[in-house]
């Protein structure tokens, strides 16, 4: 199912939420696609709006 809510949860899980199994890293960081900054949601929004 692809709805805005489900997509938002997927983004949060992969790009914002630290995981204990990954020693506090987020999955994107482990994959080498880190999101810098204190507010990761805001940084993701900024990236999505860059042409």
pLDDT at 35: 80
Q: Would you state the torsion angle of the CA atoms of residues 6, 21, 40, 31, taken in this order, to the nearest 10 degrees?
A: -90
pLDDT for residue 40: 84
Burial class (CB in 10 A: 0-12, 13-18, 19+), 14: middle
Per domain, the residue ranges of the chain are 4-49
Residue 22's pLDDT is 92
- pLDDT of the residue at 51: 66
Over residues 7-31, the pLDDT tens digits come to 888 888 888 899 999 999 989 888 8
Q: What is the pTM of this model?
A: 0.67
d(C-alpha 2, C-alpha 21), whole Å: 26
| Nearest of 3, 13, 16, 9 to residue 42 by alpha carbon | 16
Confidence of residue 45 (pLDDT cuts 50, 70, 90): confident
């Amino acid at each position: 199912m692809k709805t805005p809510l489900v997509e938002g949860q997927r983004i949060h899980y992969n790009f914002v939420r630290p995981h204990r199994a990954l020693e506090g890293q987020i999955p994107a960081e482990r994959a080498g696609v880190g999101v810098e900054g204190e507010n990761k949601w805001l940084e993701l929004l900024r990236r999505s709006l860059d042409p």
